[in-house]
Amino acid sequence: MLKVDGLNIKIVRSRRKTISLEVSDSGEVILKSPENLSRAFLRKFVLKHRNWLFQKLFDVEEKKKFFEGRGFRDGAVFYYFGVPYVLKVIESSISLKLSGNYSLLSSDWLSDAKGVFITWYKKVGLPYITERVRFFAEDRFSYKNVKITRAEKRWGSCSGSNSLCFSYRVLMLPEEILDYIVVHEIAHIKEKNHSKRFWKLGSVRYFV
């Protein structure tokens, strides 16, 4: 196993002559390598292709529907930090809560289930993401504030005044991918484009 930029990468060595990097449908990262290559060389290979790698991981997560199967009914699945939770509709005064491997939705709120979930993601996500921004930015990057939005078409953004915004959907992703998005937006504080300098900044390894 090789750990790069917070990702655990499975190494499969064989008599092959080339290196390949793959992401399975479940999100597992697999690096296929000739038997004689060092871990240092493999690490450099992964870092060189990290932007492609994270994009593939984003694609995998996008394929996971906000809800899978039967919509907002018992048995549907939603994700929190990459972990699936099965929906149960119950009688409760609390609109939504997690319990074990289940998300418990009050039947009183079923007609506005998506709104309830988005509100819940924003509520639980803001303290967590604010702390991750503080952790990576430290005193090297100055930002105005951190917000969680209802954005559907982008994961995050950095405004001209350095306000950092993140879609509620990032809370569905595994933590290592969420960290990558946080770092990506922090890097935009200093580089508002996607230049070479930006990609140097926009790497988790730069921050830790």
Residue 107 belongs to a domain: no
Question: By residue range, what is the domain housing residue 170?
Answer: 112-207
Domain count of the fold of the chain: 2
Q: What is the pLDDT of residue 69?
A: 43
What is the rounded CA–CA span in Å between residue 180 and residue 6?
9
Residue 133 belongs to a domain: yes
Q: What is the pLDDT of residue 167?
A: 94
* DSSP type of residue 116: H
Q: Global pTM?
A: 0.70
Question: Do 58 and 116 fall into the same domain?
Answer: no
Residue 26 belongs to a domain: yes
- CATH code, 168: 3.30.2010.10
Q: How confident is the prediction along the chain (208 residues), in pLDDT tens digits per residue?
A: 888 777 888 999 998 888 989 888 777 889 999 989 999 998 888 888 877 888 788 777 766 555 444 478 888 888 999 899 999 999 999 999 999 999 999 999 988 998 999 999 999 999 999 999 999 998 889 999 999 999 888 889 999 999 999 999 999 998 988 998 999 899 899 888 877 777 776 554 554 4
CA dihedral 54, 56, 62, 64 (to 10 degrees): -110
Which stretches within 6-112 are classed as H helix? 39-48, 50-63
Question: Do 117 and 50 fall into the same domain?
Answer: no
Which of 53, 47, 102, 54 is CA-nearest to residue 76?
Answer: 102
Token readout for 174 is 């595994």
Residue 89 belongs to a domain: no
Asked whether the beta carbons of 182 and 136 are under 8 A apart, the reply is yes
